[in-house]
Amino acid sequence: MTEAIAVLNAGSSSLKFSVFAAVDGDLQLRLRGQLEGLFTAPKFVGKDADGVVQSEHTWPVGFQLGHEGAMAHLTAFLDAHTDGLRIKAFGHRVVHGGVEFAEPVCVDPATLKRLEAFVPLAPLHQPNNLLPIRLLLESGTKAAQVACFDTAFHRDQPLIAQMYALPHEMTAAGIRRYGFHGLSYEYIASVLAQHDERAAAGRTVVFHLGNGASMCAIHAGRSVATTMGFTAVDGLPMGTRCGSVDPGVLLYLMDQRGMDARAIEKLIYHRSGLLGMSGVSSDCRALEESDDRNAKLALDHFCYRAARELASLAATMAGLDAVVFTAGIGENSPTVRAKILEQAAWLGVALDREANRVRGFARISTAASAVSAWVIPTNEELMIARHAWRVIHA
């Protein structure tokens, strides 16, 4: 039997999974897939490492398949498609580890209780992330449950970077910047030396630009500052999230438009960002293809804000050696990358236009560029699998 790690990423309407086999000291992808459209139009697809579909299932529209049903379906799929593999651990993506968890952790019922205490910090994500852990613990499986946190990579940041200018008592109570997308940044930091040793040892800003978007200053492999804060709504504009906004705007909306916390939550998480600015779509590709003036404005603003943040993050490291683009937009949109980097020319980044147009080309700066620029696909699942493997073999 070959030992394997299953990785789970449970969101509000989807359950994504992958399975990695431990072969010759390496973790190799064997299966991946997802159950999406929970509660609305559930659809399961499981594929092998080459993307060949192994199993598909669609439920009728409106079928109330929730996370428990999704886990039951996934467990049956794994039982049927992991011949020759023994799943030693499940690695779970968990959005919040609070101040307490700076490392992945093997979860038992007592640890699960501690992780549930962070639900108020991430009410939209944490409960979904924890549910599969609870179900697997209750199932009596021998496999270990390892929680890997999106906040953990940022926990070592200096206090000065983590605090808000709020009364000290509030910082002590955990009202501080946590930062997210940590597993993605950690993965990029782990492979950067293969591309650029100087950058890996020096000062890099990573652009994680997907539906959720943030940036991180990484100095000698460690996170020193990031754009997201107490929640994942801060920083850059995103698909439907507004990013940083003057808190006074929210007070104004409460006073003058009678909006309560739930209405503000809807506004800043679901009705803003690229969708709100454009009125067209939250999807970067759709905006690039649109002739609408506001679609263009939305993309321009997105890139403007990213370029501003680049300078701000570079300032925290007193300089810049490299920039890295990753995630859906960062990996796939030459237009967005060019727009951002043209505004960063003064920082010493010289874009190689041809390299930037060719998909998958790792280096997109000219040989003479003082600051190197890269496109590196992220792999949060592999990062989680590596963590889970390390935790169970510690």
Candidates 75, 211, 343, 366; binder of ligand ADP (CB under 6 A) is 211
150 as an active site residue: the answer is yes
Is 333 a binding residue for ligand ADP by CB under 6 A? The answer is yes
DSSP letter assigned to residue 22: E
Q: Quote the CA–CA distance of 14 and 17 in Å, as a whole number.
A: 10
Which entry of 26, 108, 150, 292 is annotated as an active-site residue?
A: 150
DSSP 351: B
Provide, rounded to whole angstroms, the least separation between the CB of residue 34 and ligand ADP.
11
Q: Please list every residue from 117 through 156 that binds ligand ADP, using CB under 6 A.
A: none
Residue entry with tokens 């493997």:
389
Q: Taking CB under 6 A as the rule, does residue 214 contact ligand ADP?
A: no
- Between residues 176 and 208, which has the closer beta carbon with respect to ligand ADP? 208
Residue 336: left (phi > 0), alpha (psi -120 to 50), or beta? alpha
In angstroms, rounded to a whole number, what is the distance separating the alpha carbons of residues 362 and 335?
A: 16
Of 80-88, 155-163, 210-218, 361-369, which segment contacts ligand ADP by CB under 6 A?
Answer: 210-218
The residue range among 17-25, 131-139, 257-265, 279-287 that interacts with ligand ADP, by the rule CB under 6 A, is 279-287
Q: Does 357 help bind ligand ADP (rule: CB under 6 A)?
A: no
- Cβ contacts of residue 195 below 8 Å, gap of 6+? 362, 363, 374, 376
Q: What is the CA radius of gyration of the chain?
A: 21
User: Which of 288, 347, 348, 355 contacts ligand ADP by CB under 6 A?
Assistant: 288
Interaction of residue 329 with ligand ADP, rule CB under 6 A: yes
**Using the rule CB under 6 A, which residue among 57, 86, 285, 353 binds ligand ADP?**
285
Residues forming a β-bridge with 145 = 90
Between helix 126-139 and helix 109-116 the angle, nearest 10°, is 170
In angstroms, how far is the first alpha carbon of the chain from the final one? 21
Is 182 one of the binding residues for ligand ADP (CB under 6 A)?
A: no
Pick 215 or 327: Cβ nearer ligand ADP: 327
CB of 212 to ligand ADP, least distance (A): 4
Length of the chain: 394
Per CB under 6 A, the segment of 34-42, 132-140, 315-323, 327-335 that binds ligand ADP is: 327-335
The size of the interface with ligand ADP (CB under 6 A), counted in residues, is 13
What stretches of the chain adopt beta strand conformation (E)? 2-10, 14-23, 26-36, 43-48, 53-58, 85-94, 105-106, 144-149, 203-209, 213-219, 222-226, 322-326, 372-375
Q: Among 218, 284, 303, 314, which residue sits at the site for ligand ADP (rule: CB under 6 A)?
A: 284
Cβ contact 22:36 at 8 Å = no
Whole-number minimum distance, CB 291 to ligand ADP, in Å? 16
- Of these, 97, 182, 239, 273, which contacts ligand ADP (CB under 6 A)? 239
Question: Taking a C-beta distance cutoff of 8 angstroms, is the pair 381, 92 a contact?
Answer: no
Q: Are 79 and 71 in contact (CB under 8 A)?
A: no
- H-run or E-run covering 81: helix 67-81
User: What's the min distance (Å) between Cβ of 77 and ligand ADP?
Assistant: 22
Residue nearest ligand ADP (C-beta atom): 328
Selected binder of ligand ADP within 34, 184, 332, 365 (CB under 6 A) = 332
The candidate with the shortest Cα–Cα distance to 92, out of 107, 108, 102, is: 107
Shortest distance in whole angstroms from residue 165 CB to ligand ADP: 30
Q: Binder to ligand ADP among 328, 369, 374, 383 (CB under 6 A)?
A: 328
Of 63 and 361, nearer to ligand ADP (C-beta) is 361
List of residues contacting ligand ADP (CB under 6 A): 210-212, 239, 283-285, 288, 327-329, 332-333
Point out the residues that are catalytic. Answer: 150
